[in-house]
Amino acid sequence: MTTFFACLLDIFPGFLHLSSLSPIPPPKSYVGNKSAVFPLQVLGLDVDPINSVQFSNHTGYDVCKGDVLEGVQLLKLVEGLEANGLLSGYTHLLTGYIGSPSFLHAVVQVATKLKALNPGLQYVCDPVLGDEGKLYVAEALVETYKTQVLPLADVLTPNQFEAEILTGIKIQSESDAQRACLLLHAHGPRTVVVTSAAFRGGHGTSWRAPDMCRLVVPRIAGAYTGTGDLTAALLLAWLYRDPPRGLPEVLEKAVATVQAILKRTYEEGGGDAELRLVQSKQDIERPRVEVTAERLRQPTDIKGVIFDMDGTLTKPGQIDFGRIRSRLNIPENVDILTYIGQMSSEGDRVAALAVVEEEELRGFVDVQLQEKAEEVVAWLRGERGMQVALATRNNPKCVDVLVDRCAFRLPSCPVEASSVETPPTASFHPVLTRAWKSEVDVDKLLDVCEQWGLPPESVLVVGDSLEDCQWAHLAGMKSCLIHIGADHTLDTLRSGYVHTVIESLGELQTLLGGDLHVNEGGPGER
């Protein structure tokens, strides 16, 4: 059986034109552009194909003659298009096999230029690196994909081996595949489809995104070339043609076409024949869906949520931590509060904390909430009937400012006080501030569970840092990291402390609305 894993964070709208950058072999080989352009045209897209290699045939044959094109050749073509005012008309970019480092660097330049000319342009990247444990390209290209190409891509379609190479995760289970999807999202692509994932064992549980699905199809005997190019093109075409239906339906149509073509190819030519692409025109136009995608969504057992404040409920960057470090001469790689706590003089500690408090309040003068922060908290407390707490390393005065400026309400009792019952009008109870939070002390988190009468495993901690997730893990709670982006590296997500990832607080409603469940395996699950 072959499993397709897909994770969608956004769908792009349809446009009028499409540009494709991938190889075009001659007629004897249905790979690269030869495999991608025909289905794109059949589905109504105008395509301008550009070669990255010009080979006599694909490399699966005993002999392969031809040239690997260099970046300068691509840039010359683009210069000609630009000189004639033609670049702004492109709305999509599709890349596949790229044989030389210079060509890949040129692709980065072209993608950047096209996105600058048309901010709505969608880049679909099939990162053709290899398959079944074997690299097709030079090692240098792998790092370029990781650091330069993926941040530009909107849709990414690696096979299992390529996903492993790009993430460093050996995919041996569904959990591994799900984790790989989230790691790839951290690089930038909002839609990730891992194709041809084959492994033994059950489905397991792992990280989830707001819209993740799987599709399992029977494996057709044989070794076929060009299926990755074909799949990427079909995904692009159906996302373009039918965006409102969502990724599962798009995946079903693309896979239905691929399966029909492979069946025809096997029946007419055996397991090593060239794809019967032209003969399958009707299957491209009107795919017969026989296997449906399964959304990986299940109800949660989460009964309480603990929010971090700065960077989680409020927008990040409002407190100038660089200024704090500068005023107190604190090194970049040292935690500010830990550094202050280790000062030998109590007077120095008090003075340093006064500086921190001054800068915190300066940052909260015009405090801005994350989008939907108030609505999500009200929804959790009201419609969902959940317990909600606030745990922050900021001082209580920042909490007061937040409440004064926003629609949040606090209990009438002191913020650090314990109470078995949460006042019905309170947005957060209890509220924990700077006094409690450190890397090793999680007793206060457990006290929250005791107040609520909930086991730790039914409580979700939502924060914007790895430390928030570490504290949740130490307390036996679930963790949710908000904001995939430059602040969260692959190493952060690989740490094992992050159970699920969201890009906005609004996605928390999907996470806790019965549509999604978090990883129950926790750190160490591979």
In a domain, 440, yes or no: yes
Q: Which one, of 297, 477, 273, 309, lies nearest residue 392 by Cα?
A: 309
- Where the chain has pLDDT below 70, the residues are 1-29, 58-60, 198-211, 222, 243-245, 270-272, 296-300, 407, 409-426, 435-441, 484-496, 513-526
Enclosing H/E stretch for 130? strand 130-131
Examine the domain organization and report whether 357 and 215 are in the same domain. no
Does one domain contain both 175 and 241? Answer: yes
Contact 60, 131 (CB under 8 A): no
Q: Is residue 154 part of a domain?
A: yes
Q: Are residues 343 and 310 in the same domain?
A: no
Residue 200: per-residue pLDDT: 52
Q: Report yes or no: 4 and 181 within 8 Å, Cβ to Cβ.
A: no
Q: Are residues 137 and 265 in the same domain?
A: yes
Residue 443 among the catalytic residues = no
Dist. CA 281–CA 287, nearest whole Å: 10
State the amino acid at position 219 in one-letter form: R
Angular region, 226: left φ>0, alpha ψ -120 to 50, beta rest: left
* Residues in CB range of 450: below 8 A, 6 or more apart: none
* 3-state secondary structure labels for all residues of 142-206: HHHHHHHHHHHCCEECCEHHHHHHHHCCCCCCHHHHHHHHHHHHHHCCCEEEEEEECCCCCCCCC
Same domain, residue pair 439 and 407: yes
313 occurs within a structural domain:
yes
Q: What is the pLDDT of residue 493?
A: 58
CATH number for the domain spanning 448: value is: 3.40.50.1000
Q: Say if residue 184 is in the same domain as residue 80.
A: yes
Co-location of 357 and 380 in the same domain? no
pLDDT of residue 512: 79
Is 524 part of any domain?
A: no
Neighbours of 286 (CB within 10 A): 10
Do residue 236 and residue 336 come from a single domain? Answer: no
Our count of domains for the chain comes to: 3
**51, 157: one domain:** yes
What pLDDT does 270 receive? 67
Contact 210, 507 (CB under 8 A): yes
Q: What is the pLDDT of residues 125-148, one digit of tens each?
A: 999 998 888 888 889 999 999 999
pLDDT of residue 299: 44
pLDDT of residue 526: 25
153 and 141 in one domain? Answer: yes
Domain shared by 410 and 497, yes or no: yes
pLDDT in tens, 69-128: 889 999 999 999 999 998 888 889 999 989 889 999 999 999 999 999 998 899 999 999
CATH number at residue 329: 1.10.260
Nearest to 500 by CA among 264, 178, 129, 57: 178
Helical H segments across 227-328, by residue range: 227-241, 247-269, 281-285, 321-328
Domain identity same for 475 and 359? no
Helix (H) or strand (E) holding 117: helix 101-117
Does some domain include residue 519?
Answer: no
Choice among 229, 308, 310, 464 that is catalytic: 229
Report the CATH number that the domain containing residue 278 is assigned in CATH.
3.40.1190.20
3-state secondary structure 42-94: HCCCEEEEECCEEECCCCCCCCCCEEECCHHHHHHHHHHHHHCCCHHHCCEEE
Question: Is the preceding omega at residue 316 within 30 degrees of 0, hence cis?
Answer: no
94 phi/psi in degrees, rounded to 5: -120, 125
In a domain, 523, yes or no: no
Report pLDDT for 245: 65
- pTM exceeding 0.75: no
Reading phi first (left if > 0) and then psi (alpha if -120 to 50, else beta), residue 258 is in alpha
User: Is residue 525 situated within a structural domain?
Assistant: no
| CA distance readout (Å), 295 to 12, 211, 250 | 20, 7, 13
Q: Is residue 518 in some structural domain?
A: no
**Full domain range(s) for residue 90:** 2-295
pLDDT the model gives residue 180: 81
